Protein backbone atom coordinates (compact mmCIF):
# COMPACT_ATOMS: atom_id res chain seq x y z
CA UNK A 1 0.00 0.00 0.00
CA UNK A 2 2.87 2.35 0.72
CA UNK A 3 4.24 2.06 -2.84
CA UNK A 4 0.79 2.89 -4.27
CA UNK A 5 0.67 6.07 -2.20
CA UNK A 6 4.13 7.09 -3.39
CA UNK A 7 3.18 6.38 -7.00
CA UNK A 8 0.02 8.46 -6.62
CA UNK A 9 1.96 11.47 -5.34
CA UNK A 10 4.56 11.11 -8.08
CA UNK A 11 1.74 11.27 -10.64
CA UNK A 12 0.29 14.37 -8.97
CA UNK A 13 3.72 16.02 -9.07
CA UNK A 14 4.30 15.09 -12.72
CA UNK A 15 0.85 16.33 -13.77
CA UNK A 16 1.39 19.62 -11.95
CA UNK A 17 4.81 20.12 -13.53
CA UNK A 18 3.50 19.28 -17.00
CA UNK A 19 0.72 21.83 -16.52
CA UNK A 20 3.24 24.47 -15.51
CA UNK A 21 5.58 23.65 -18.41
CA UNK A 22 2.75 23.52 -20.93
CA UNK A 23 1.44 26.84 -19.68
CA UNK A 24 4.80 28.50 -20.19
CA UNK A 25 5.06 27.09 -23.72
CA UNK A 26 1.51 28.10 -24.66
CA UNK A 27 1.95 31.59 -23.25
CA UNK A 28 4.99 32.05 -25.52
CA UNK A 29 4.00 30.31 -28.78
CA UNK A 30 0.29 29.55 -28.37
CA UNK A 31 -0.76 32.20 -30.88
CA UNK A 32 1.34 30.57 -33.61
CA UNK A 33 -0.09 27.14 -32.78
CA UNK A 34 -3.62 28.57 -33.03
CA UNK A 35 -2.85 30.27 -36.35
CA UNK A 36 -1.35 27.06 -37.73
CA UNK A 37 -4.45 25.16 -36.65
CA UNK A 38 -6.66 27.80 -38.30
CA UNK A 39 -4.73 27.57 -41.57
CA UNK A 40 -4.84 23.77 -41.43
CA UNK A 41 -8.63 23.84 -41.04
CA UNK A 42 -9.10 26.08 -44.10
CA UNK A 43 -8.92 29.66 -42.83
CA UNK A 44 -6.46 31.17 -45.31
CA UNK A 45 -6.25 34.59 -43.61
CA UNK A 46 -6.41 34.10 -39.84
CA UNK A 47 -6.13 37.04 -37.47
CA UNK A 48 -3.36 36.94 -34.91
CA UNK A 49 -5.07 36.21 -31.59
CA UNK A 50 -4.10 38.18 -28.52
CA UNK A 51 -5.67 36.62 -25.44
CA UNK A 52 -3.84 36.68 -22.11
CA UNK A 53 -3.02 33.35 -20.50
CA UNK A 54 -5.21 32.63 -17.45
CA UNK A 55 -2.40 32.47 -14.90
CA UNK A 56 -4.86 32.88 -12.02
CA UNK A 57 -6.67 29.70 -13.10
CA UNK A 58 -3.37 27.83 -13.27
CA UNK A 59 -2.42 29.11 -9.83
CA UNK A 60 -5.76 28.00 -8.42
CA UNK A 61 -5.38 24.51 -9.92
CA UNK A 62 -1.86 24.12 -8.55
CA UNK A 63 -2.97 25.47 -5.15
CA UNK A 64 -5.75 22.86 -4.96
CA UNK A 65 -3.23 20.14 -5.82
CA UNK A 66 -0.74 21.37 -3.21
CA UNK A 67 -3.37 21.80 -0.48
CA UNK A 68 -4.74 18.31 -1.18
CA UNK A 69 -1.26 16.85 -0.86
CA UNK A 70 -0.49 18.78 2.33
CA UNK A 71 -3.85 17.85 3.83
CA UNK A 72 -3.14 14.15 3.32
CA UNK A 73 0.33 14.50 4.85
CA UNK A 74 -0.94 16.46 7.88
CA UNK A 75 -3.76 13.99 8.49
CA UNK A 76 -1.37 11.05 8.43
CA UNK A 77 1.09 12.75 10.79
CA UNK A 78 -1.62 13.79 13.24
CA UNK A 79 -3.10 10.29 13.33
CA UNK A 80 0.31 8.68 13.85
CA UNK A 81 1.13 11.13 16.65
CA UNK A 82 -2.06 10.06 18.44
CA UNK A 83 -1.37 6.39 17.77
CA UNK A 84 -4.43 5.97 15.55
CA UNK A 85 -4.92 4.83 11.99
CA UNK A 86 -5.37 7.67 9.50
CA UNK A 87 -8.89 8.22 8.18
CA UNK A 88 -9.27 6.48 4.82
CA UNK A 89 -12.05 8.83 3.75
CA UNK A 90 -9.99 11.94 4.46
CA UNK A 91 -6.93 10.49 2.73
CA UNK A 92 -9.03 9.62 -0.33
CA UNK A 93 -10.61 13.10 -0.41
CA UNK A 94 -7.20 14.75 -0.15
CA UNK A 95 -5.78 12.56 -2.92
CA UNK A 96 -8.82 13.24 -5.11
CA UNK A 97 -8.41 17.00 -4.60
CA UNK A 98 -4.72 16.78 -5.45
CA UNK A 99 -5.44 14.77 -8.61
CA UNK A 100 -8.26 17.11 -9.68
CA UNK A 101 -6.07 20.18 -9.33
CA UNK A 102 -3.15 18.58 -11.14
CA UNK A 103 -5.28 17.26 -14.01
CA UNK A 104 -6.95 20.65 -14.49
CA UNK A 105 -3.53 22.32 -14.49
CA UNK A 106 -2.33 19.87 -17.15
CA UNK A 107 -5.43 20.49 -19.34
CA UNK A 108 -5.35 24.28 -19.07
CA UNK A 109 -2.75 24.81 -21.88
CA UNK A 110 -4.97 22.87 -24.30
CA UNK A 111 -7.96 25.01 -23.34
CA UNK A 112 -5.91 28.14 -24.00
CA UNK A 113 -4.87 26.95 -27.47
CA UNK A 114 -8.51 26.33 -28.36
CA UNK A 115 -9.45 29.77 -26.99
CA UNK A 116 -6.76 31.28 -29.20
CA UNK A 117 -7.99 29.21 -32.16
CA UNK A 118 -11.47 30.64 -31.68
CA UNK A 119 -10.02 34.17 -31.69
CA UNK A 120 -8.41 33.72 -35.13
CA UNK A 121 -11.75 34.04 -36.93
pLDDT of residue 3: 55
32 pLDDT above the threshold of 70: yes
Q: Looking at residue 2, what is its pLDDT?
A: 58
**What pLDDT does 4 receive?**
58
At residue 98 the predicted structure's pLDDT band, cuts being 50, 70 and 90, is confident
What is the rounded distance in angstroms from the CA atom of residue 104 to the CA atom of residue 85? Answer: 31
Q: Could you give the CA distance from residue 43 to residue 121 in angstroms, rounded to a whole number?
A: 8
| pLDDT score, position 91 | 79
Among residues 111, 119, 27, which one has the least CA distance to residue 61?
Answer: 111
Backbone angles phi, psi at 94, to 5 degrees: -65, -40
Cβ neighbors of 15 (< 8 A, separation 6 or more) are 65, 99, 102, 103, 105, 106
Mean pLDDT over the full length of the chain: 85
Confidence band (pLDDT; 50, 70, 90) for 1? very low
What average pLDDT does the segment 66-73 reach? 84
Amino acid sequence: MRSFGLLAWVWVLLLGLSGLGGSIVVSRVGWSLAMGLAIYTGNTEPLRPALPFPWAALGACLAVAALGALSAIWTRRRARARGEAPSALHAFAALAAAYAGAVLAALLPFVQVFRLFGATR
